[in-house]
Structure 1
């Protein structure tokens, strides 16, 4: 099965040697699925020929806002709608979660409650799910047909699903805690309030449940759909 990774941002250059770029993080996260991967750096205006270029799709995180005026965002939204119409499996993470909602009629904006950084706990099916987060933007109005699967008081729309072929997640299962620590130092200071960064730094030793998300995503991409 071929998974097309739609890369909407780049990791800080000083962290890439140790952690890889965003597409490489997902290749590692989904390594047990036996997939073939193609990366399209849509942030650099590199797009696939169409939705049929892969069997399933994944949209990465980004430092950009889904609502910002970038030339690559409208064609990405068009591609999302094409994938949706074909009912191909599609996963969105952080920015990917947001741009899918926006493309399908929802709203994304800066959350007045501020940032979420580092290990964050969400409630999913009455159970806690702990993952690394890095965002201020949120999906604040749902598209028609979106189902909320998980959230918390700070981020009510933490995991969304559309039919049985789109699954999106606000936090970052691909982010190791060491990478979040690097982000705090290289991209956070001066952007995110120091108190939030300092509090997150003290929590990075806590384990996160990225492995559970990897297992779910491997099965999600491969399940039979009618």
Structure 2
């Protein structure tokens, strides 16, 4: 299977350069279960998009410090590509910014988190199953697109994930992040976050997240979508 990762992460800081790119993180996540899968990356935030009508077995849109409300040309172009992918019936997975971008592109509503920053490991629910994942977001999906089904969430984020038929699956969280990376991210952001948020984020790292559960769900999504 050949998966295209649309990299939306705009962070070009020294911190970001010291860690694997998001495309590499998702490749590791997928290939940990399916070593033969091929992953190609496109830095859409740098206006690097696939050739017109270029097809893949599946697509992933990454997270980003950018907002889906930004007026940058690449954001609007990404929305157009999302609509094309969905119209063609090709499976599309989105995480954090990707989750929000898919919602916006298809007619949903994204706005500020009522409680501000959500950062660190959090407990949520997906398809009736309790699951612990990493979070780093200040916005969330408030209204899903027409035809979408909310798969679960929590008190801080009611739309933690949604699906549209067999072709779209999203999560507000970060399945690609490892414990080591999240610990480094919490330390990097400690001085930029409200003190209580930073303290909770650091304390949350003591309990492991369900990387294996979400990885298996994503792999199953792509395999089921292709029959």
- TM-score of the pair, normalised by structure 1: 0.93
3-state DSSP of counterpart to 1:9: coil
Which TM-score applies when normalising by structure 2?
Answer: 0.93
Q: Is the 8 A contact 1:61 1:96 kept in 2?
A: yes
Does the 8 Å CA contact 1:15/1:182 hold for their aligned counterparts? no
* Post-superposition CA distance 1:121-152 (Å, at most 9, x none): 11234331111111110001111011000100
- CA deviation digits over 1:84-127, x for unaligned, max 9? 00110100000000000000001111122211111111123433
> Which residue pairs with 2:102 in the alignment?
100
Q: Does 1:200 align with 2:201?
A: yes
Q: Work out the CA distance in 1 between the residues paired with 2:204 and 2:223.
A: 34
Distance 1:109 1:60 in 2: 18
Q: Give the direction of change, closer, same or farther, for the CA distance of 1:65–1:188 in structure 2 (3 Å limit).
A: farther
Which residue in 1 is equivalent to 2:111?
Answer: 109
Contact residue 9 and residue 45 of structure 2 kept, 8 A: yes
Report the equivalent of 2:129: 127
Secondary structure of 2:93's partner? Answer: strand
Give the drift of 1:186: 2.2
Q: Is the 8 A contact 2:167 2:225 kept in 1?
A: no
Distance 2:30 2:46 in 1: 24
Cα RMSD over matched residues? 1.6
- The gaps in structure 1 that reach 5 residues or longer are none
| Partner of residue 215, structure 1 | 216
- Partner Cα separation in structure 2 for residue 51 and residue 136 of structure 1: 33
Matched-pair contact (CA < 8 Å) for 2:121–2:201: yes
Which residue is equivalent to 2:82? Answer: 80
- 1:30-69 CA-to-partner distances (Å, cap 9, x unmatched) read 0122211110000011000135332210000000000111
Q: What is the count of residue pairs matched by the alignment?
A: 224
CA–CA distance in 1 between the matches of 2:63 and 2:131?
19
